[in-house]
Chains A and B, each alone.
Chain A
Amino acid sequence: MGAQLREYRARIKSAQTTKKITRAMELIAASRIQKALGRVRSSAPYARAVTHAVSAVATYSNVDHVLTTEPEKITRAAIVVFASDRGLAGAFNANVLRASEELATLLHGQGKEVVYYLIGRRAVGYFSFRKRGFEKVWTGDTDEPQFATAQEIGETLVAKFIQGEDEGGVNEIHIVYNRFVSMLTQEPEVVRLLPLEIVEGVEDPGGTEVFPLYEFEPDANTVLDALLPVYIDSRIFNAMLQSAASKHAATQKAMKSASDNADTLIRDYTRLANNARQAEITQQISEIVGGADALSSAK
């Protein structure tokens, strides 16, 4: 009997310790979400300016660029997976990995070869556990993405895109990341990065006004040459920031439910422990009473 009670107490203790840890992680994640969201917000003017400029070139000139032209035949596609470095974030990594698997199946179905670029140790773990190859990996700053990393990724991808197909280049690049919808919802988002499709941000010149003439310095081609890589970097940076914010939100949610579960466990085990203690007392009393009875009837 005493053994059982001791076991319950040990379990309560361990649940309490776990709860302390998960509660701390929840609070840390909560404070980091705000910071991450702040970074998403403050990077918005840049993304807007870049998108606007690219749209302006696309709208007010008729330049064909290698990054915007649809190749006739796509044989190889790249998928860039934005996961995180750490787990303990609920379905965060599973979601983004599942979305990329679905995309890969789709691309395979279209007869395309798929190569992977991974961001975050979790994605690397997933791929190496399944003994699957990947092209390149970036880890270490998924919690607080740096623009320099985005530029590095962008450079690598553009170089790969421009490279000839026979030398291992790709014709298509997709990115898969978790988009921050709200504190409670983060949705995996699949976007085709290259060839570019620019849809947003074009300012309507207005019905009556004259179509504005744009002056490009030095010329539309050079401007586009310089702008498109910047646009890609900004898209990648945005995906990294969104992913970071989503990761913190997912961690907070996961850790909150872990703390709640620990609470439930503690309550259940406390009840069981009380039961066991009471049973022990009852038994002791009945032993004493039984003993006294035996003594008095023996006289």
Chain B
Amino acid sequence: MADLDAHELHVSVVSADAELWTGEARQVVARTLIGQIGLLAGHEPVLGILAEGEVRITTPDGEVIAVSAQNGFLSMQNNIVTVVAGAAELV
């Protein structure tokens, strides 16, 4: 919450036995049980259960990283986004 001017998110994608990806991102788009959610820096803290589908992470260079995170969840606090799933996979 302290860093509202920051324009970047710090994202990490975590599965049960490894941290799959971690880095800076401009935007994270995911599908929770009640619909799409887009996260930019400065978003309020969120904790959402992910529905089927991919989580798309846009890096500052515009590259898009897609992650399949079945039965996972996503949490955001202080511009730190964590995508967690037992069997997360980079697509």
Binding site for B on A (CB under 8 A): 39, 42-43, 45-46, 49-50, 52-53, 56-57, 60, 147, 150-151, 203, 209-210, 212-218, 222-223, 226-227, 230, 233-234, 237
The answer to whether A215 and B34 have CB atoms under 8 Å apart is no
Chain A residues with CB below 8 A from B34, complex form? 217-218
State the main secondary structure of chain B at its contact with A: strand
- Chain A residues with CB under 8 Å of B37's CB are 217
Q: With a CB–CB cut-off of 8 A, which chain A residues contact B32? A: 217-218
Q: Does B64 contact A (CB under 8 A)?
A: no
Q: Give the interface size class of chain B.
A: 20 to 34
| B63 on the A face (CB < 8 A) | no
Shortest Cβ gap from B55 to chain A (Å): 13
Q: Known: A57-B47, A217-B34, A223-B47. Contact between A46 and B15, CB under 8 A?
A: yes
CB distance from A8 to the nearest CB of B (A): 52
Chain B residues with CB under 8 Å of chain A are: 1-2, 12, 14-19, 32-34, 37, 44-49, 71, 73, 75, 77, 82, 84, 86-87
B86: nearest chain-A partner, CB-CB = A147
Residue of B1, B17, B71 near A209 (CB, 8 A) is B1
A212 touches B14 (CB 8 A): no
Known: A49-B84, A53-B75, A147-B87. A43 touches B47 (CB 8 A): no
Report the separation of the CA atoms of residues A222 and B19 in the bound assembly, to the nearest whole angstrom.
26
By a CB distance below 8 angstroms, the chain A residues around B86 are 147, 151, 230, 233
